[in-house]
């Protein structure tokens, strides 16, 4: 009786393990897009110019701050929340973004479209200011006060903080 149950159990176990190989490989950092670079700046700049009307000069001025970030990665759990951490008790569009080397926690204020879908796992570019950094559960987290979140695939949404001055704290 044991031999009869062992073979089917072993086969199911092997198929179960085999079925998880591809999803696990997709979560390896080597498969994530580059976090930053000139191509990311150019693509984000072009989309903000075309869709929002920002000038290249405005974006170049923004990048003069050492705290400014233009990064891309994979958006995880994008949602509207009433935060207990940043901008306490106010609604913001928050997402976690996975990059090759960092996990970015993005807070975007002054935008509100909770009924508009924003697909989990989308490729995004974030324009914002680094407001903190820590290491939680082995993840190098960077906390970002975002001015724009650009979704590059799926719904291709661009969220922009309508009241942002595009100046990072600590700059003159």
pLDDT value of position 6: 67
pLDDT value of position 14: 66
As given in the structure block, the two tokens for residue 30 are 């080597």
CA distance 87 to 104: 17
As given in the structure block, the two tokens for residue 154 are 């799926």
Q: How many Cα atoms within 13 Å fall on the side-chain side of residue 157?
A: 19
Each residue's pLDDT, cut to its tens digit, for the chain (172 residues) gives: 556 666 777 667 666 665 655 455 445 556 677 788 899 999 999 999 998 899 999 999 999 999 999 999 999 999 888 777 777 778 889 999 999 889 999 999 988 776 788 999 999 999 999 999 998 777 889 999 999 999 999 999 999 998 999 999 874 4
């Amino acid at each position: 009786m044991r031999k009869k149950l062992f073979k089917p159990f072993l086969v199911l176990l092997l198929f179960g393990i085999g079925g998880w190989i591809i999803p696990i490989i997709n979560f390896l950092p080597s498969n994530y897009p580059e976090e930053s670079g000139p191509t990311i700046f150019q693509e984000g700049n072009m989309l903000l110019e075309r869709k929002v009307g920002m000038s290249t000069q405005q974006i170049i001025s923004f990048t003069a701050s050492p705290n400014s970030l233009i990064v891309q990665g994979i958006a995880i759990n994008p949602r509207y929340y009433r935060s207990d951490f940043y901008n306490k008790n106010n609604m913001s569009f928050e997402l976690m973004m996975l990059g090759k080397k960092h996990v970015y926690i993005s807070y975007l204020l002054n935008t509100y479209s909770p009924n508009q879908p924003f697909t989990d796992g989308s490729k995004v570019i974030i324009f914002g200011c680094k407001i903190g950094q820590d290491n939680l559960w082995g993840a190098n987290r960077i906390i970002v006060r975002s001015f724009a979140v650009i979704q590059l695939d799926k719904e291709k949404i661009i969220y922009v903080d309508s009241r942002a001055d595009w100046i990072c704290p600590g700059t003159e």
